[in-house]
Structure 1
Amino acid sequence: MRGTLVFDLDGTLAETAPDIMASLNHFLILEGLEPLPLSEARNLVGAGAKALIERGFRAAGRPLSPEKLETIFQALLAHYLEHVAELSFLYPSVESALKALEAREFRLAICTNKPEPHARALVEQLGILPMFAAVAGRETYAFCKPDPRHLTETILTAGGDAGRAIMIGDSRTDVDTARAANIPVIGVSFGYTDTPMAALKPDRLIQHFDELVDAVLALSR
């Protein structure tokens, strides 16, 4: 194997905001509030389910108490797991890029702050789970991104070596995690981030998955 490539999931491999927002809106409607448009997703998605709920209810005009937040959080996780891939889809050329990297003997893994059961269900339903040697979620270990151990433990679980690894992600959290682990990072320009990826200065920036193989090879020399 040439090395290990560790991918973030939401906003990196797949457009998942439609299903995430659908679950949020389900609970907004149950509480008698108006659903939020998908255009709001960029402002809400990317920091975990609790932050999603907190931000979403605040945007809808009803901030939540900690107790109510916890109740809705647990219910939303269950609801979202049942509907995790109804509207979500892989970004263009993801599958072909992963296959091309597999053919070049790179080991593939996922490191996400999404709960592991939801991450596994999503990539399984999107048809790419068999490509990954490891899928590590928020609770897989005792720490999660931006703690660099989330990344390095994922690499070990996949059978890889942190000294021969690259992170691919869409957010400041991914860049900060990779930097803290002293691992090169490729940023994608199309994900969920409140700071443009170019401003975060990843080692390589791609606009499309057609560019991923060349970016990986450039950092693997």
Structure 2
Amino acid sequence: MNDFPFRIVGFDLDGTLVDTAGDLTAAVNHALSLVGRAPLPEAAVRPMIGLGAKHMLEQGLAATGGVPDGDVERLYPELLRYYEDHIAVHSRPFPGLIEALDRLDALGVRTAVVTNKMERLARILLGELGLADRMATIIGGDTLGVRKPAAEPILAMIERCGGGRTAFVGDSIYDVMAATNAGVPSIAVSFGFLDRPAADLGADHVIDDYGELIPLLETL
């Protein structure tokens, strides 16, 4: 038995494990094009990511001229259809992630995903990138009927992974709040889809790349 201090390390998906901004931007812009709106640059869409696709669509409409009655309900299925068909065109794991997962595997640590993305889409994306089978569990925004910043998805992850000392890694205030609400240490990544500086998210720790993750965890 190794003396690594954690049994479970959970991760957010978009902006934490995987840089999905290119494909999410394309999906938002597809939906916007259906109502004659101009496309948004990726830099504008990145901070809209984190509370699920419907929130991202609402933000995209608000940024391009407002949210007419009924447009979200009408365009949301179109956005999801386009996104599912183009889910891994540009999306790639962040640098150093695979090496960090390999090291956690070697240490006997269970890894898992808790995302506000729909579970089905999360599984498709992680499958396309060869990451799904590496995760002990994948919990989406629709899995439990409650999502981050609630504690329940983190607590369910811990239960499904068999319990033990846990840390959670994310890139948004919702990730930090969910970890805090569940009573586990939070680690923010400074390279994610930030709507504010990583230092302002209130996380217990911040890392600038995945090479820093395991050395940090070893000190906690």
**Runs of 5+ consecutive residues of structure 1 not aligned to the other structure:** none
Map 1:110-189 → 2, pairs under 5 A: 110-161=113-164, 164-189=165-190
Task: Output the CA distance in 2 between the equivalents of 1:101 and 1:69.
Answer: 41
Task: Output the CA distance in 2 between the equivalents of 1:184 and 1:99.
Answer: 21
Pairwise CA distance, 1:130? 1.4
Task: Output the CA distance in 1 between the equivalents of 2:76 and 2:98.
Answer: 32
Partner residue in 2 for 1:81: 84
**Runs of 5+ consecutive residues of structure 2 not aligned to the other structure:** none
Residues 157-200 of structure 1, C-alpha deviations (whole Å, 9 max, x = no match): 22233xx1111111111111111111011111111221222123
Residues 116-161 of structure 1, C-alpha deviations (whole Å, 9 max, x = no match): 0111111111111111000000111121111101110012122233
Partner residue in 1 for 2:204: 203
**Residue type at the aligned position of 1:20:** L
**Residue type at the aligned position of 1:30:** L
Task: Output the CA distance in 2 between the equivalents of 1:188 and 1:62.
Answer: 31
Task: Output the CA distance in 2 between the equivalents of 1:41 and 1:101.
Answer: 32
**Residue type at the aligned position of 2:152:** R
**Residue type at the aligned position of 1:156:** E
Pairwise CA distance, 1:51? 1.6
Q: Contact between 1:172 and 1:195, CA under 8 Å: does it hold in 2?
A: no
TM-score by length of 1: 0.93
- Superposed CA RMSD: 1.4
Partner residue in 2 for 1:20: 24
**Percentage of pairs with the same residue:** 38
Helix, strand or coil for the counterpart of 1:177?
Answer: helix
Where do 4+ consecutive residues of structure 1 move more than 3 Å?
none
Pairwise CA distance, 1:64? 2.5
Matched, 1:103 2:106: yes
Task: Output the CA distance in 1 between the equivalents of 2:202 and 2:150.
Answer: 19
